[in-house]
Amino acid sequence: MSEHEQILGILRAKNKNPIQLDPFRTALIVVDMQRYFTQPSFPFTEVFDKLSPGAAVGYLTRVRETVIPSIQRLLACFRATRSPIVITAVGSETREGNDFPCWLRAFDELGLATLGSRIWPPVDDPSWEIDEALKPQPRELVLNKLSAGTFTTTGLEQRLRHQNVESVVVTGVATDVCVSTTAREAADRGFKTVVVSDACTTLSAQLHQANLETLHVFGWVQTAEEVITLVRGALRSA
Amino acid sequence: MSEHEQILGILRAKNKNPIQLDPFRTALIVVDMQRYFTQPSFPFTEVFDKLSPGAAVGYLTRVRETVIPSIQRLLACFRATRSPIVITAVGSETREGNDFPCWLRAFDELGLATLGSRIWPPVDDPSWEIDEALKPQPRELVLNKLSAGTFTTTGLEQRLRHQNVESVVVTGVATDVCVSTTAREAADRGFKTVVVSDACTTLSAQLHQANLETLHVFGWVQTAEEVITLVRGALRSA
Amino acid sequence: MSEHEQILGILRAKNKNPIQLDPFRTALIVVDMQRYFTQPSFPFTEVFDKLSPGAAVGYLTRVRETVIPSIQRLLACFRATRSPIVITAVGSETREGNDFPCWLRAFDELGLATLGSRIWPPVDDPSWEIDEALKPQPRELVLNKLSAGTFTTTGLEQRLRHQNVESVVVTGVATDVCVSTTAREAADRGFKTVVVSDACTTLSAQLHQANLETLHVFGWVQTAEEVITLVRGALRSA
Amino acid sequence: MSEHEQILGILRAKNKNPIQLDPFRTALIVVDMQRYFTQPSFPFTEVFDKLSPGAAVGYLTRVRETVIPSIQRLLACFRATRSPIVITAVGSETREGNDFPCWLRAFDELGLATLGSRIWPPVDDPSWEIDEALKPQPRELVLNKLSAGTFTTTGLEQRLRHQNVESVVVTGVATDVCVSTTAREAADRGFKTVVVSDACTTLSAQLHQANLETLHVFGWVQTAEEVITLVRGALRSA
């Protein structure tokens, strides 16, 4: 058995510990499922396709066929219990991209050099909106962030604490960037953290998988079906 | 070319952008190079070896043969310019582990179940100390953290801002957990972020590599030699 | 001379140090100038009037006759240089007040006991809106907070850092609660901090004055006219 | 009745609400009771006395005769229940004061201009130590901060959360600066916050009183005796 297989074996064994999720103290976080991230014909995927034709095809397929349906099922489950739902987005609030940290500006510059347009939309652009298939309902918190993580540039920690949340279920795109950073931030702040393996993806399926392996360290990696079963089980026994 | 190779090609091309490092505004961060992380005979590696014999051998070799020598060279370089040096550690300040977030407590519980002892040392335990080979000098900041990231449970951001730091160079262990989280936190706070590929490692060399690929998104991945060349070049042209 | 006069003398002397304000690196912060805070007939002032008739009359007069005109002049000045403008508000994003910290909930409970209605509006209530006299323009950042301070429950620090802001000018209501906390937070994060004495007020003119005395510790206390003169002077010499 | 008396009446009435303090979920915070703040012959009080002879006499007397004895009683009470105790300090970790925000540097500059020495000690200076009368015991958390508030430049929030703390009792110096900022930060993060009126003071007794009036807004203002009675009462009924 290789070193890698040994380590994965240990991390996955750790993940077998049972999770206790109190549905009334668990928030669903849907990361950056905005139109420009989920649909073709926007600079985010265009720049990848321009740099390497076809590079974003698999990503967009996984978003459409797997991630969106999984998040829809999770939203239905969390809406049924009126549990907190947090929907994040990335966009420039000044409209000029000068409110981004330098690593996000580097992508805008890549877009300008490659396509002649910035990657990240202003917050009032139609492409900034959450994908129609996951339309937020009134009372669901929509937070614009200027970062990969959700906690750094929003007051999410306080919003969760004040509502007595103790666990978070993280979904969205992309697994290795905004999802992974948000999950790490949540775990480091003491929240029990579940990342939903079939409710997130990234441009390389292999990087998606490698990132999930590490996320076992910070909590649990589960399928949407497993999370829904946990929540429903907790409700029945409540 | 596979999807994965296409994406890696794009990320690595982005990394080719030249970095401007002002040595007087760049901090070296050395993450968790404590004895219990760098040497055998402490619970951290013991628990892995118990669960899967030999699992930590490669890790300890890489720490000793590559990571420590690289960090030594970087420390010498940053000490020569009196640039800020930040050395982090993980340990229980209450001595009982009840000040950790739940994901760190889960490892203590794994240690208790497997070895009969907790994984993370109290802050006054000899195994908490920084490895002798990297002994902090007076005026170098040693921060104990209760998290993977360095920014969440210390006031590092303010400490860097007040000293006018704009870039950080991140080293230490483990690549996929504390190093990656610290680099993400730094980038999200607007710091130019360089991760040093041969000054960090983790238990699986494959997860080390996969995590570095993603870290291209947040800034630059460079060797220790490349960073030292950059710093010296900036000094000469200053 | 009394102890109090001695101390005030020292604090005010410290305030005489000249301020350097770079208009392009200075943000104007307008705190909580929402209709329910600036106009009669909303629960915030009603509860004070119910508990002690006439208690809010002086406050509302000062807001109308002094604070709003001062902020209008500052907004015109900062708009002319396209400097960052941040406008804050308090309101419940869940609409039910369960997203507030306990000290804000205590006021909602006081309102319910006294008037039969909560004090703090939901974010989609007309009384949540910024006072018509200070209507935000597109591109001006409007941040809802769930706290007295502005930094704790928004990502304001990052938004300012990424735009290279180094100084803040703080105005609004109430001097001793949200204005004072925001100024303290800004100063503690390393921003040069100016509180504008005639662009803020609170329910007791005496508490307004006492709080300004302490705010000399954290930076400068200036009139709107003094700030405008500083900004225009800096522009001329630029 | 004046406006001021009306408003104070309302704030004090609010303070009459009963407090529920769970001793096992309440932390005692002792702010900056360091030798250079509590004893004569150090630059902090010397600079005030130099600028206005006798200005610090009343302060030092109140610290010695009231504040220290009150904190001693509170420490005994919290030690008896092994509740979390957090002891803060201010000092330069780089030893050169270049790690302070500009408002703290302004005081160092005032000290240099007035006395020829900086105000704030390096962290390894004897004057940085906690006053002998309040000597920390092992396991009590001593946090150095570079700010007025305790939360901004330490990871206090996470340290309290991970230990399941829900309430804080704030004491120390100075009421209007570090104590008030710490209490505001705690309340804004959702902690129930009690400021102990006879366990804190500042240079002007009048500013002490005015600041306490505002702190009613953020929670409760109680005497040390009242807090001790609350804690003991909660223990008996537990």
pLDDT in tens, C98-151: 999 999 999 999 999 999 999 999 999 999 999 999 999 988 999 999 999 999
The answer to whether the beta carbons of residues B84 and B141 sit under 8 Å apart is: yes
Confidence band, pLDDT 50/70/90 cuts, at residue B33: very high
- What is the rounded CA–CA span in Å between residue A204 and residue A212? 13
| Average pLDDT score over chain D | 95
Give the model confidence (pLDDT) of A130-164 as tens digits: 999 999 998 899 999 999 999 999 999 999 999 99
CB contacts of D163 in chain B (<8 Å) are 94, 98-99
- pLDDT > 80? residue A238: no
Query: CA A38, A44, A47 angle in degrees (round to 5)?
Result: 135
The pLDDT of residue C15: 78
Q: Mutation target for A interface from D151, D157, D159, D160: give the one with most A CBs within 10 A.
A: D157
Question: Pick from D139, D141, D133: which is nearest to D70 by CA?
Answer: D133
Average pLDDT over residues D207-224: 96
- B218–A contact, CB cutoff 8 A: yes
- What is the rounded CA–CA span in Å between residue D238 and residue D236? 5
DSSP code string of D143-186:
EEESSSSSSSSB-HHHHHHHTT--EEEEEEE-IIIIIHHHHHHH
- What is the rounded CA–CA span in Å between residue B184 and residue B170? 10
- pLDDT > 90? residue C25: yes
Confidence band, pLDDT 50/70/90 cuts, at residue C95: very high
CB contacts of A162 in chain D (<8 Å) are 190
The answer to whether the beta carbons of residues A181 and A215 sit under 8 Å apart is: no
Give the model confidence (pLDDT) of C201-233 as tens digits: 999 999 999 999 999 999 999 999 999 999 999
Considering only the beta carbons, identify the residue of D98, D100, D141 that sits closest to B93.
D141
The pLDDT of residue A14: 80
- What is the rounded CA–CA span in Å between residue B174 and residue B31? 8
The pLDDT of residue C14: 80
DSSP helix, strand, coil percent of chain A (3-state; round to 5) = 50, 20, 30
This prediction's pTM: 0.97
**Number of C-alpha atoms within 13 angstroms, CB side, residue A185?**
26
Contact flag B101-A190 (C-beta cutoff 8 Å): yes
- What is the rounded CA–CA span in Å between residue D82 and residue C42? 46
The pLDDT of residue C123: 97
ipTM confidence score: 0.97
Query: Which A residues in the span 131-170 are in contact with D, Cβ-Cβ below 8 Å?
Result: 158, 161-162
The pLDDT of residue B112: 95
Q: Mutation target for C interface from D52, D98, D119: give the one with most C CBs within 10 A.
A: D52
Neighbours of chain C (3+ CB pairs under 8 A): A, B, D
Neighbours of chain A (3+ CB pairs under 8 A): B, C, D
Contact flag A188-B55 (C-beta cutoff 8 Å): no
Query: What's the gap in Å between the CA of C188 and the closest CA on chain B?
Result: 8
Please list the residues that pair with B201 across neighbouring strands: B173
Query: What's the gap in Å between the CA of B81 and the closest CA on chain A?
Result: 25
| Average pLDDT score over chain A | 95
**Better-predicted residue by pLDDT, C181 or D233:** C181
The pLDDT of residue C13: 82
Give the model confidence (pLDDT) of A75-104 as tens digits: 999 999 999 999 999 999 999 999 999 999
- pLDDT > 80? residue C238: no
The pLDDT of residue D18: 83
> What φ, ψ does residue B2 adopt, rounded to 5°?
-75, 165
Give the model confidence (pLDDT) of C59-88 as tens digits: 999 999 999 999 999 999 999 999 999 999
Give the model confidence (pLDDT) of D170-200 as tens digits: 999 999 999 999 999 999 999 999 999 999 9
Give the model confidence (pLDDT) of B159-174 as tens digits: 999 999 999 999 999 9
Give the model confidence (pLDDT) of B56-72 as tens digits: 999 999 999 999 999 99
Query: What's the gap in Å between the CA of C100 and the closest CA on chain B?
Result: 22
The pLDDT of residue D1: 84
Query: What's the gap in Å between the CA of B203 and the closest CA on chain A?
Result: 7
Query: What's the gap in Å between the CA of B20 and the closest CA on chain A?
Result: 12
Confidence band, pLDDT 50/70/90 cuts, at residue A193: very high
Quick one: what percent of chain D has pLDDT higher than 70?
A: 100
Question: Pick from D147, B154, D32, D158: which is nearest to C186 by CA?
Answer: D147
Edge-first strand listing for the sheet containing B167-173: B141-145, B85-90, B26-31, B167-173, B192-201, B220-222
Considering only the beta carbons, identify the residue of B14, B48, B189 that sits closest to A101.
B189
Confidence band, pLDDT 50/70/90 cuts, at residue B140: very high
Query: Which B residues in the span 78-97 are in contact with A, Cβ-Cβ below 8 Å?
Result: none
Quick one: what percent of chain B has pLDDT higher than 90?
A: 90
The answer to whether the beta carbons of residues D175 and D196 sit under 8 Å apart is: no
**Number of C-alpha atoms within 13 angstroms, CB side, residue D61?**
8
Confidence band, pLDDT 50/70/90 cuts, at residue B88: very high
- What is the rounded CA–CA span in Å between residue A120 and residue A144? 12
| Average pLDDT score over chain C | 95
- pLDDT > 80? residue D163: yes
Helix (H, G, I), strand (E, B) or coil at D39: coil
Give the model confidence (pLDDT) of D93-110 as tens digits: 999 999 999 999 999 999
CB contacts of B147 in chain D (<8 Å) are 155, 158
The pLDDT of residue D92: 97
